[in-house]
Structure formats: structure tokens, C-alpha cells
A and B are shown apart, each in its own frame.
Chain A
Amino acid sequence: MLVLQGVSKTYPGAASRTVLAGIDLALASGEYVAIMGESGVGKSTLLNLIAGLERPDRGSILFDGQEISALPDDAATLLRRRAMGFVFQAFHVLPHLSVARNVALPLLLNGIGKRRMRERVAAGLAAVGLAGRGESMPRQLSGGELQRVAIARAIVHRPSLLLVDEPTGNLDSDTAGKILRLLRDQLHASGAAGILVTHSLAAARTAERILRLTPTGLEPHADSDREE
């Protein structure tokens, strides 16, 4: 479903910097892959390129046979809206919206009717263990609960690809484990493919395949690598 071929990205300027060079990646439907790498190696840039938020300098990114890098901004936005879900390290739950309204945002964007929206929000919250917390405000929730809200928001519109960026970076190890299991379970349940970007080998091990992003490209993760 997702194929990257020879993708490179350089940020211009006085201190021009190449963050990605010759990246190749193939991801099948329902597959869950973790990408590890050092800070600044370009993990987040890779997610932005896949999401169509940035354009590569070279190479192609095919999503369901569609060249994302050739799409105009509006078309890329619509594709993201329909087919992708995001989970961030800092949760990015809108503080002025209730939990239910936060989760409902992708459904609103996709024009889902009110009744179905309510049902799917309730189901989404139940799936992440927050049934009955829909009217709570984000400030009343713990970090782990906020990340559950973010996961519910990422899956509520049934995307085919979930892009997850350091989802446990702000959480304690117990909560992190729970969140990672939740993520994996939700991916399996929905049948969506997922890319998890992380520093943590423990987190990466919840995925089916682990890749390491280096300045020269993506490589399979060696067993000798240690958790950073």
C-alpha cells in the first residue's frame, strides 16, 4: 500500500543539510513497522513526506498507487483526512474541546453524520478505555489518558495508515507499555498499516518489523543494537 523509492530530502539555506538520502520502503496493508534512529536523522521528516506535508527533492512516494509528492496541497490534505491517522509525542489534544469533540474532529472533517459520529466516537473511546469520559476536558486527564484520546482520534475515521511519532516519549514506562499495546491492538483490529517512529527499542519491539534510519538510508535493525 505504501512504497517509497529513492526518497531524498535536503533543507536549503546557509547551512544546507541533507536529512534523508535514498530511502526505500515498502509497507503492506495491515503491516506495522517501527523506525528507529538517532535524533536529527530525519525520522519526523520521513513521516511528513509520507503524509504529504512536505515534498521530497528526489524519489517517489506511492500511497495506494497514488504519487503523494505530485499531489497539490489540497489533494494531499484530503488524502490525509480520509486515509491517515496521527499520534504525536505531545498528544496535541485541543484544550478547549471536550474529549468527545477532540475525537470527533476527523469525523467532522470527513462529513460523517451526527448520529454515526456519536456512535463512532463512543466506540473509539471505549476501544481506548475511556468509555464515559467524553465530556471531560483535556486538563482533567492524565498524560496517558491524553494519549489514549489521541489514539482514539487517530483511528476513529478508520484510516488505512497510522503514523505514530514517539507516542510514549512523555509517559512513564508502565503507561508507555499500555499505550503501545493499545496501539498495536487497535491497528490489528482496524486492519490499518502503521509506522511507529521511536528511539526506544522496547517500543519498537511492539511492531512486526524494525528498521533503522541512518544517514545512508533505511536498514533492517540488527539484534546487536541496544536500547538508547
Chain B
Amino acid sequence: MLFSELRTHTARSAMAIVAIAIGVAMAYAVHLINESATGEFERTVRSLMGNADLEIRGTEAGFSESVYPLVARLAEVGTASPSVAVEARLSGRADPLKIVGVDVFRAAAVQPGLIGRPEGGRAGALPLLEDDAIFLSPVALRWLGAKPGDPLHVQVGLETRTLRIRGTLAATGEGLRLGVMDIGAAQSCFERLGMLQQIDLSLRPGTDAEAFRARLSRLLPAGVFVSTPAETVRRSSDLSRAYRVNLTVLALVALFTGAFLVFSSQALAVMRRRGQFALLRVLGLRQGELLRLILAEAALQGALGACLGLGLGYLVAGATLAWAGSDLGAGYFKGVAPQVHFDAAAALLFGLLGLASAVLGSVAPAVEAARASPAQALRAGDEAAAPRGLRSVAPGIVAIAAGAALSFLPPIDDVPIAGYLAIALLLTGGIALVPRLARVLFARLPDSRHVPLHLASTQLSGSPGRAAIGLAGILASFSLMVAMAIMVASFRTSFDQWLTVALPADLYLRAGSAGDTAYFSPADQRNIAATPGLQRVEFQRSLPVSLDPERPPVMLIGRSIDAADPASRLALVGTPRHPRSGEPPPVWVSEAMVDLYGYALGQQVFLPLGGRRVAVTVAGVWRDYARQQGAVVIERQDLARFTGDETANDAALWLLPGSGLAATEQWLRQRLANGDRVVYSSPGEIRARSLKIFDRSFAVTYLLEAVAIVIGLAGIAVSFGGQALARTREFGMLRHIGVSRAQIGAMLALEGALLAMLGVAAGLILGGAVALILVRVVNPQSFHWTMNMSLPWQLISTVAIVLVAASAATATWAGRRAMATGAVRAVREDW
């Protein structure tokens, strides 16, 4: 009994199984990718911290090493292990290498994994202390294609320094690209003399860590914090959390649409088998037993789909990690090379989700079939009765109202839970209203004399239940596709506009493509400014600063900016505030600063600069799509005054009319010391590169759009295939009374097209509403940036036309198949 439906209608069952499999595969793959990256990231952070109880941490810019003796002398401290850390730019490499400088004698006690193992028979500490010695993790060695004894060229400023690979590291997590040096050698090599980034502390037994932490915090300079290993791991993981959560939710969307396909498939099967079920009821099958039988069929489909999906998900995760990396190109996990690991617990969870979505998709049809009166169901003609659950509008309206209300709620723990729930309720409510919508709209179609149109419109208005089943899949998939398309288009357009404001110059110079060891010294800056044919040059210095130990650092950007006209350089949101005399210097903060730190226009805030708290005034809020953790722009001269740092990372050059880009670049390459190491980019190149990264990080969204469309098309095929089969006798009767094959074909094409048009129109409205929540609620709450709505009409109208045409074609094809299998004979009960 359980397998008979699967065997009889293999193609339709297979489509439902595949839809569930796709949903499970997407969700499981995204989970595996996220877990492999965050898991490796966590192992990395933990291996760097070793068995430290507390960590004193500044930003990449570091803090004075005078803090070290202050801390090391405290009675509660057993061992204090200082370190410097840089993201070093390597010659000929796009990605940087993390290099940590440690005091080998102290690190041995706190971070034994960071102790190098010299190769070549030179035991003892001496090789570890050599000025040019560096020890690499096995992953870093493989990445570089190097071996112990080889040189390693790192860029400092615009100069190259050569280190020597002396051996490997003990244990640093299997996926971490890391190099370790002696702390003094690292400070000297990377020009960080007198600076530290971190001090790891192991406390004496019996020390109250919390109490000590509170006391220690008060001793530290501004911008230097104490945290536990767990907090450090969480802070690192938080960087990518919004991205990961959104990716997971997007993947679950595929499962959601799969559930609708199961609903369509099961609802049609139940309608078609009403007589069969009624007979079973007459023969003695109880309501509960029938309900369980139908749910078991769905569970079987779900289980098959889930198993298939888990296998597929594992393969997709492996392929994706190999192709795009663990963050799909979004840049959250640089330097980490994770492997995909089968996660049994997650497999069970996502497998059960697949099973549950299949069972949930068939609950309404199963309840309907179980409740149907056997006597009524055995009567001819009862097969067209609409499932009762689809007739009421109240649940739909309540769901939409609840969704609308939820969209106004704030995020929970920085995750837009209410926003996601609002989307789910809106979609469910919208789909629940479809039967009434179909009845009302199709009943208003003019009473045509055109036979196919007359038959099609009466069929659609007379069987809203059937229409709803056909529509549910189209509506779910099209509205999701529209929502995702509008969200991505809005983001891409806003991002493009933002790039236009952010890239006003003719040529951009970056001291290094990656890492924080490359910079322009004041001498380099003078040389660049002396380039012939220049109209104007602006330098920019970016420094990470920690404002809250619980959050990742904020980027402080020192650049030339006209306080009277900041909009010429920044994509301002709202009206800026002109600085008043006597106020602290102005800063312009990104939207994330308002969201995360509560900064407001005109507010006086404090930034930890040069080891002290410096008062500044918030003079404007700007849109920043590059740094979701927050950014603060300050006049470069102010930054140099507060920090003493006069280096720069970037330069923007405006050329005089007639000066060529190529000639300017050529001149700089020749005249600037090590000018070849500078990265030269035109705004067009940066724009193209940025949009490529954007598209890559949204590849999953594009894939999900495609999945939604495919599932929608599959839903159409399932729905019309099932309906055509259920209506074989109707076709036979129509043929008897003189309706031609062509007229039946036209009737079915019109039914398909009219249904799809309603689905597309409703999907457009529903998708637009979902997009509004994505753009106005989910995105700002997840990433702390806003965007302008933009409708990709071309894409939406193309997909709409394809769906309508596919519906018409599929309905006609399904009808032809049904008629080919003996529609004429189906009218006879006695042959």
C-alpha cells in the first residue's frame, strides 16, 4: 500500500523527492561549509592562545610594550607571554601570511603550539632566536610550496625583507597558514619596535580570574582590553555570523519551496484517490489509520529525499570549499584552509528537517482525506472538492498581519529572527489566501463564447482548491525568486552607486594588495605627490581600533576630507552636521556605528588613539558596504596628530587634463623606490573587481533563485500532470459531446496560462513585500547597512514569461498524455 503510489506515479513522486533533496542538500552543504570554516577558525584561535587563561589584546596597530612589565609583575600572573602579530604581505602573493612574534621562553609555557621545531639537526633555542628565522605551519609550507631552508620574502613598507624558513610549528590547527618568529626579530623586521599586539596570561592557581580581570582592565590604556579565550573565539566567529546565518536561512528557503512541491504532489494524489480512500474507509480503515497511511507515504518521500540530499550536500560542500573557499569569496576566513567533515548530528537534524517538510506538506491533504465522508467521496464528481483547509481566508489574513507586525521588531542577539519569521508568515499567509483569490478573480472573467476560454475559466473558478494546489508551487517559488532578485539588485545597484562616490579619483595606489606590513612612508608620499601631471593627491591611513572588547575592531580611516562638503567623498545618509568652533574634531561614522555603538549625529564620543581616549564629534553618517563591523572617518591630519602615525596605506591621484594613466603609472613604477610593489588600479578596475567579489559572494543567492525557478517549474509539471490524470474522464466526456482535441488542448493551455498569470501577479506582490523586509529589516539588522530599493524588471519579467509559457505548455502536454491513455474509454465504467 505504502509503496504503490510511489510505484504508480514514479515521475511525480521523484520530483517531490528531488525537491526535498535539493532543499536538504543546500541546507546541509551551507552548514558543512560554515562549520568547516568556523570550526577551523576556532581551532586556529585556540591554538594561538594555547592554555592562556586571559588575553590582553590591542588592535593590529598594537599598544606600547611598557604595558608588559606592568602586567608581568602582578602577583596573580604566572606567566605572561607577549606577542606581535602582522598580516605580512609576501612577494608575488595576493593573500597575506599571518606572522606572530613570540618570546620563546614564555610562549613555551602558555602557547606550546607556537614553538618552532628546527630542521637540520640544530636543536635548542638558538635557531628560534635568530633574526631571520621563521617557522611555518604545515599548511603555510604547502601553500607556499616551500621547505625548511628556503627563503621567504616579506614586504615592509615598499621594501623587501628576506627571512629563512627554519622549520615547522608543533600544532596550530590543521588548516591555519601561520608563521612564527622571535618577538624581537619580528618587531625589528616589521618596524613594530616597542609595540605589542597581545599578551597571553596564565594565572597562578587559586586566582579569581574574573576579579583579576576587572582589576587588570583598569590598569590598561585606552583601546586595550582583557578577554577570555571563549570571548576571543566568539568575537572572531561574530565577524561572519550574520553572513552565515543569512546563508543558512537562504538554504532553508529551498527546503520551504520543496515542502510546497510535496504539498502539491500529495494534495493532487489525495484528490485523485478520494474514491480509493473512501473504499478503504468503507472496508474498515479508521480515520487515524488513513491519516497515518498518507503521512507515511509523505514521510517515505521525505526520507528518500533527505538521504539523497545529505549525500548531495556533502559533495556540494566539498566542491564549494575547493572552488570558492569557506566564505564563498566574502573574505571572512582569509588564511584558513578548511576541509569538509561529515557532521552526523547535523546530518540527522537536516535529514529530519527534510522529512518534516515532506510530512508538513502533506498534513492538510491527509487530514482532508481522513475527514472526508466515505459515502460522499465515493460519489462521482466529488474529486473536485477543494480541501476544506484551503477555503478559509482567516488564517491567511492572521499570518500576514502577524508577519507585518513582526517586521517592526528589533533583532535578537544581532540576528533578525523576527524579520525571518515575518517573511515565513507573509509567504504562508499569502499562499493561504490563494484559493479565495483564485475564486474571486476567475469568477470575474467574462462569460466567453470562446469554448476553450469558457471551459478554462469555469474550471478555474469552479475548482479553487485545484487551482490553489497548482498555484501554491508557482507562488512560493516565484515570490521567493522575486524577493531574492529585488534584494540582490537593490544591493548591487546601491553598491555600484556607493563605489562611484567612494572612487572619485583617476588612479589608486595601494602599498600592498593585502596585509598590514605594506605602507607608504612619508618619503614615499612626497615622491608620489611629486608625480608630474597631478592635479591633486590624497592619502589614506586605515587603522583598526577596539571600542568594545565584545565586538570585533572598528576601522578608523584617516583621509583628507572637506568638513564643509563631506558628501563629495562619502556616501552620506541624511544631512551632515557642520562642525562648530570649539567642538572636538569631527568624525563621520558608518551606519554600523549607529546600530552597534549607538552613535548619533552631533554626539561627542571617545576614540582610543595613541593609547588615550580622544574626544571627537560625530558630524555625519555614511553608508559603508566594505566594513560591516563599523568604520570611522577622521581628517588624516587629526589622526596623525593623535597617533603620531604618518604612514599611509592608500593614495588617490587626480590627473591634470592630458596626463595619461599609463604614463603616470609608468613614471611611478620607475621613480618610486620599489614602485613595482605598489598595486595600481583605475576606478574601473576596482569597480569590476569589487562587483566580481560581490557576485561571487552572492553566488549562493543566484543559485537559490535558479533552484526556486526549477522547483516552481517542477511544481507546475507535478500539478498539471496530476490534475490532467485526475480529469481524464472529464476529457473523455468532452470528447464525446463534440469538443475537439485542439479545443481541449487550448482549454488546458489557457488554464495553465491563467493560473500562472495569477501566480506571477500574486508572487510579484508577495515577493515585493518579502523583498521590502529583506532590504529594510533583514539586511540592516544583519549587516548594519541600508540600501535603496531597485527592481530588476528585465529578470523578473523574463522569468514571469517563462513560467506562464511553461505552465501553458506543461498543462497542454499533460492533457495530451492523459488523453493518449484512453480518455474516451475512461468514461465507461463497463468496458
Cα A170 to Cα B381 with chains together (Å): 13
Secondary structure dominating the interface of A = mixed
- How far is the CB of B824 from the nearest CB of chain A, in Å? 5
Answer whether residue A148 sits at the interface, using C-beta atoms and an 8 A cutoff.
Answer: no
Cα A108 to Cα B279 with chains together (Å): 37
Answer whether residue A73 sits at the interface, using C-beta atoms and an 8 A cutoff.
Answer: yes
Whether the Cβ atoms of B381 and A166 lie closer than 8 Å is: no
Whether the Cβ atoms of B381 and A39 lie closer than 8 Å is: no
- How far is the CB of B536 from the nearest CB of chain A, in Å? 75
Cα A110 to Cα B740 with chains together (Å): 12
Whether the Cβ atoms of A101 and B458 lie closer than 8 Å is: yes
When distances are taken between beta carbons in the complex, the residues of chain B under 8 Å from A95 are 381-385, 462-463
Interface positions of B from 720 to 771, Cβ below 8 Å from A: 729-730, 732-733, 735-742
Secondary structure dominating the interface of B = helix
Whether the Cβ atoms of A53 and B829 lie closer than 8 Å is: no
- A90 and B827 in contact (CB under 8 A), knowing A106-B738, A138-B381? yes
When distances are taken between beta carbons in the complex, the residues of chain A under 8 Å from B323 are none
- How far is the CB of B815 from the nearest CB of chain A, in Å? 15
When distances are taken between beta carbons in the complex, the residues of chain B under 8 Å from A80 are 736-738
Whether the Cβ atoms of B738 and A82 lie closer than 8 Å is: yes
Answer whether residue A92 sits at the interface, using C-beta atoms and an 8 A cutoff.
Answer: yes
- A88 and B737 in contact (CB under 8 A), knowing A48-B824, A165-B828? no
Chain B window 441-474, contacts with chain A (Cβ cutoff 8 Å), 1 for yes, 0 for no: 0000000010100100011011100000000000
Answer whether residue B214 sits at the interface, using C-beta atoms and an 8 A cutoff.
Answer: no
When distances are taken between beta carbons in the complex, the residues of chain B under 8 Å from A110 are 738
- How far is the CB of A134 from the nearest CB of chain B, in Å? 14
Whether the Cβ atoms of B737 and A109 lie closer than 8 Å is: yes
Whether the Cβ atoms of B738 and A169 lie closer than 8 Å is: no
Whether the Cβ atoms of B828 and A88 lie closer than 8 Å is: yes
When distances are taken between beta carbons in the complex, the residues of chain A under 8 Å from B738 are 77-78, 80-82, 84, 106, 109-110
Whether the Cβ atoms of A96 and B462 lie closer than 8 Å is: yes
Shortest Cβ distance from B727 into A: residue = A94
Whether the Cβ atoms of A89 and B829 lie closer than 8 Å is: yes
When distances are taken between beta carbons in the complex, the residues of chain B under 8 Å from A48 are 824-825
Chain A window 16-55, contacts with chain B (Cβ cutoff 8 Å), 1 for yes, 0 for no: 0000000000000000000000011001110010010110
- How far is the CB of B737 from the nearest CB of chain A, in Å? 6
When distances are taken between beta carbons in the complex, the residues of chain B under 8 Å from A111 are 449
Q: Which of B385, B458, B736, B739 has the most CB of A within 10 A?
A: B736
Whether the Cβ atoms of B831 and A40 lie closer than 8 Å is: yes
Cα A101 to Cα B735 with chains together (Å): 17
When distances are taken between beta carbons in the complex, the residues of chain A under 8 Å from B732 are 92
When distances are taken between beta carbons in the complex, the residues of chain B under 8 Å from A45 are 831
When distances are taken between beta carbons in the complex, the residues of chain B under 8 Å from A188 are none
Cα A198 to Cα B427 with chains together (Å): 54
Shortest Cβ distance from A92 into B: residue = B733
Interface positions of A from 138 to 173, Cβ below 8 Å from B: 138-139, 143, 146, 153, 165-166, 169-170
- How far is the CB of B526 from the nearest CB of chain A, in Å? 85
Chain A window 69-108, contacts with chain B (Cβ cutoff 8 Å), 1 for yes, 0 for no: 0000110011011101110111111111100010001101
Counting contact residues on chain A (CB < 8 A from B), the size range is 35 or more
- A39 and B830 in contact (CB under 8 A), knowing A95-B383, A139-B382? yes
Answer whether residue B283 sits at the interface, using C-beta atoms and an 8 A cutoff.
Answer: no
When distances are taken between beta carbons in the complex, the residues of chain B under 8 Å from A89 are 828-830
When distances are taken between beta carbons in the complex, the residues of chain A under 8 Å from B828 are 44, 88-89, 165
Cα A39 to Cα B381 with chains together (Å): 25
- How far is the CB of B389 from the nearest CB of chain A, in Å? 18
Cα A71 to Cα B380 with chains together (Å): 33
Q: Which of B380, B454, B730, B732 has the most CB of A within 10 A?
A: B380
Shortest Cβ distance from B463 into A: residue = A96
Shortest Cβ distance from A84 into B: residue = B738
Cβ 8 A contact of B729, one of A82, A92, A199: A92
When distances are taken between beta carbons in the complex, the residues of chain B under 8 Å from A169 are 829-830
- How far is the CB of A160 from the nearest CB of chain B, in Å? 13
When distances are taken between beta carbons in the complex, the residues of chain B under 8 Å from A40 are 831
Chain B window 368-401, contacts with chain A (Cβ cutoff 8 Å), 1 for yes, 0 for no: 0000000000011111110000000000000000
When distances are taken between beta carbons in the complex, the residues of chain B under 8 Å from A73 are 740-741
Cα A86 to Cα B733 with chains together (Å): 9
Cα A82 to Cα B372 with chains together (Å): 40
- A51 and B449 in contact (CB under 8 A), knowing A90-B380, A94-B730, A139-B381? no
Whether the Cβ atoms of A109 and B739 lie closer than 8 Å is: yes
- A153 and B740 in contact (CB under 8 A), knowing A92-B729, A138-B381? no
Cα A139 to Cα B732 with chains together (Å): 20
Whether the Cβ atoms of A77 and B740 lie closer than 8 Å is: yes
Cα A108 to Cα B380 with chains together (Å): 24
Cβ 8 A contact of A96, one of B384, B451, B733: B384
- Can you identify 8 A-B contacts, CB atoms within 8 angstroms? A77-B738, A86-B736, A89-B828, A92-B730, A95-B382, A109-B737, A110-B738, A166-B829
Interface residues of B (CB under 8 A from A): 379-385, 449, 451, 454, 458-459, 461-463, 729-730, 732-733, 735-742, 824-825, 827-831
Query: What are the 7 closest A-B residue pairs judged by CB atoms, nearest first?
Result: A81-B738, A96-B462, A95-B381, A92-B733, A95-B384, A77-B740, A44-B828
Interface residues of A (CB under 8 A from B): 39-40, 43-45, 48, 51, 53-54, 73-74, 77-78, 80-82, 84-86, 88-97, 101, 105-106, 108-111, 138-139, 143, 146, 153, 165-166, 169-170, 199
Query: A97-B462, A143-B379 are known contacts; what are 16 more A-B pairs with Cβ within 8 Å?
Result: A48-B825, A53-B736, A53-B824, A73-B741, A80-B737, A90-B827, A91-B381, A93-B381, A94-B733, A95-B385, A96-B461, A96-B462, A109-B451, A139-B385, A169-B830, A199-B830
